Structure 1
Amino acid sequence: MTVCAILTAKGHQVVSVEPDVKLAAAVKLLSERRIGSVLVMSGTRIDGILSERDVVRALDERGAAALDEPVSAAMTRKVVSCRLSDTVTHLMEIMTSERFRHLPVVEDDRLVGLVSIGDVVKLRVQEYEAEQEALRDYIKTA
């Protein structure tokens, strides 16, 4: 399975904010949308990613005052992305080794989606269930 299969199932919608948006507004967006991260973008360029972990870290380091700062002060600047043709196994390796839970999907220098660890797990469970069903059918017909 590939990233393309994940995006075909879940869609290509990506939630983003601009770098100068206040952290409090981004936190509200995370809560309202019930998501774990937003991309920080200037136009079509990815400047960073803001995750729940980044918010917690900013609050720990700077207290409630961090909520009045721009998202750019709390975001992760090093953004690792993947491609539509990447396999789910490759995604799991990246997410595990780099300790990321969200990866933007970039194709031809254009953002085409965002994949989360939840998306990967869901796909793997579906694959496992399909394999189990195929084995049950095979045993019934043997």
Structure 2
Amino acid sequence: MTVRSIINAKGQDVLTIMPDAPLREAARLLAENRIGAIVVVDGSRRVVGILSERDVVRVVGLDGPERLEDTVDTVMTHKVVTCDGSETVHQVMEKMTAGRFRHIPVVTAGRLVGIISIGDVVKHRVAEMERESHAMREYIMST
């Protein structure tokens, strides 16, 4: 199963924010939309960073709530690991596990086209395992 199949099933809607937006605005968007990360893009929808709820909690916890007035680019992860639609779910799982992150932007021709969360990956992997299990039971019953 590929990333493209997950994006096709869940849709390509991705909440984004510009790097010069206040961190307070990013925190509001994360809370209102009940999401764990927001992709930071430039005017051409090129990924320039990612900001997770963990990033916000870390800086506010260490430096205090005044950090919410800083811009997103002062807190975001600048070196973003991305994937493309042709990658397999297993490849994306390996990237997430190795990098210890829960969200990965999907990029085509340098532009953001979706986002995959660990929840999306697990959901599709479980469905795949159930299909395989069902097929195996069918095979055993027919022999």
- Report the TM-score range of the alignment, normalised by the length of the smaller protein: over 0.9
Question: Partner residue of 1:133?
Answer: 134
Distance 1:19 1:61 in 2: 21
1:19 and 2:33 correspond: no
Give per-residue Cα distances to partners, 1:31-65, cap 9 Å, x unaligned. Answer: 11111000111212222100011111111231111
Pair 1:9-2:3 in alignment: no
CA RMSD, Structure 1 to Structure 2 (Å): 1.1
TM-superposed deviation, 1:22: 1.5
**Aligned-partner Cα distance in 1 for 2:100–2:134:** 33
**Deviation sequence 1:87-112 (CA, Å, 0-9, x none):** 11111111111112111111111211
TM-score, with normalisation over the residues of structure 1? 0.94
**Counterpart in the other structure of 2:64:** 63
CA drift at 1:69? 1.4
Contact kept, 8 Å, 2:2 with 2:86, in 1: the verdict is yes
Rounded to whole Å, the distance in 1 between the matches of 2:39 and 2:133 is: 37
Q: Structure 2 length as normaliser, TM-score?
A: 0.93
Distance 2:131 2:89 in 1: 16
Cα distance in 1, alignment partners of residues 50 and 58 from structure 2 = 14
The percent identity for this pair of structures is 52
Q: Distance in 2 between matches of 1:65 and 1:93?
A: 36
1:131 Cα shift?
1.1
Where in structure 2 are the equivalents of 1:1-142 lying within 5 Å? Answer: 1-43=1-43, 44-142=45-143
Q: Distance in 1 between matches of 2:41 and 2:107?
A: 13
Q: How many residue pairs get matched?
A: 142
For structure 2, the 5+ residue unaligned runs are none
How far apart are the structure 2 equivalents of 1:60 and 1:71?
A: 16
> In structure 2, the residue corresponding to 1:106 is in which secondary structure?
strand
Cα distance between partner residues in 1 of 2:47 and 2:84: 15
